[in-house]
Amino acid sequence: MEQNLSFTEEKRLNASGGMPILIINTLVLIAGIAGFIIGITRAEAGSGFGTVLAVTGGIVVFLMCPILYVGLKVLKPNEALVLTLFGKYYGTLMGPGFYFVNPFVTAINPTKSAPAEAAQKQKLADEERKKMSDHASGKAVSLKIMTLNNDRQKINDKLGNPIEIGVVVIWRVVNAAKAVFNVDNYIEFLSIQADSSLRNIVRLYPYDIWDEDESADEMSLRGSSQEVAKRLRDELQSKVEDAGLEIVETRITHLAYSPEIAAAMLQRQQASAIIDARKLIVEGAVGMVQMALNQLSENHIVTLDDERKAAMVSNLLVVLCGNKEAQPVVNSGSIY
């Protein structure tokens, strides 16, 4: 016999209004108490069967009416109640309002610890306990868009360099029954899956692209953060589908080399920037020297042999590519 390990269906519960039940139940309770008091008064006066009936009815009403009050439920906007009846799924109550349901149903929310369980978890910090529970009132499941901001992680990129990266996950519950029944704690489950997916995605990309070859078209964590975040969202969504969660968006909030290699990588970046700047300077200087030689030749200002051209090119490149201003030497004795 196969056992269904995944809950997939959600039953929308159509509950009646709670205000009429509240008014009628209150009036019946008041009438029962009044009947009980009148029955006791007549019993002292020696009345018969009617007195016993009034007292019995008052006791029954006094015992039953408080039970009906338990069935009154209040829901705020973007909240849902997942209800069970004697261990079986009863339905999901959704929509803001005041409702009346079977008083014997129980609301389930695994992120809200019972008082006894909360007492056993005093070792956890208050922020950690709040992080693993939503902010819906009572046992309700929040359907609002929420944010999960896990701690920064140290992960090796595609090239094996250790980096620190942090992401924020924007998510919401779209199937409250699956979130309650398919996983133990859907917020903790999301947090663990987010860390796992982040590690899987980061290992596929280098932190940055250094070589200007065919790999320059490859995506990197620093240069293609939006594409990486989108791929992270897709992978995370596939992992939390059975938990009734929807990943609205993922964003990279922190990206840096780990402290142990940050200084070396900074020197590498500076060296790369210097080399790029030198390349640009040399290309510009060569173009200016060529332009100067062409204009001197075309305008017949001076005719230079190959040796003099080489000397002129050397001098111009020293002037144009040097870090400091050159000190000219003026030759006024001859053309050379």
Give per-residue pLDDT as tens, 208-222. Answer: 775 554 444 467 887
Q: What is the pLDDT of residue 236?
A: 93
Q: What is the pLDDT of residue 285?
A: 76
Give per-residue pLDDT as tens, 34-62. Answer: 777 777 776 655 555 556 666 677 777 77
Q: Which residue has the higher pLDDT, 44 or 193?
A: 193
Mean pLDDT of the chain: 77
Q: For 51, what's the count of Cα atoms within 13 Å in the CB-facing half-sphere? A: 11
Structure tokens at 83: 């209800």
**286 CB neighbour count, 10 Å cutoff:** 15
Burial of 49 (0-12, 13-18, 19+ CB in 10 A): exposed
Q: How far, in Å, are 225, 302, 322, 324, 330 from residue 327 at the CA level? A: 49, 23, 11, 9, 10
180: closest CA among 136, 116, 244, 128? 244
Q: What is the pLDDT of residue 212?
A: 53
Rg (CA), the chain: 39
Give per-residue pLDDT as tens, 89-103. Answer: 888 888 888 988 888
**129 CB neighbour count, 10 Å cutoff:** 14
Q: How far, in Å, are 127, 202, 229 from residue 165 at the CA level? A: 21, 9, 12
Q: What percent of the chain has pLDDT over 90?
A: 10
pLDDT band at 6 (very low <50, low <70, confident <90, very high): low
* 172 beta partners: 246
Q: What is the pLDDT of residue 214?
A: 47
The answer to whether 206 and 220 are in contact (CB under 8 A) is yes
Q: What is the pLDDT of residue 170?
A: 93
Q: For 128, what's the count of Cα atoms within 13 Å in the CB-facing half-sphere? A: 7
Give the strand pairing for 162-173 and 153-156.
Answer: antiparallel
Give me the domains of the chain, ranges plus CATH numbers: 16-107 (no CATH), 125-257 (3.30.479.30), 264-321 (no CATH)
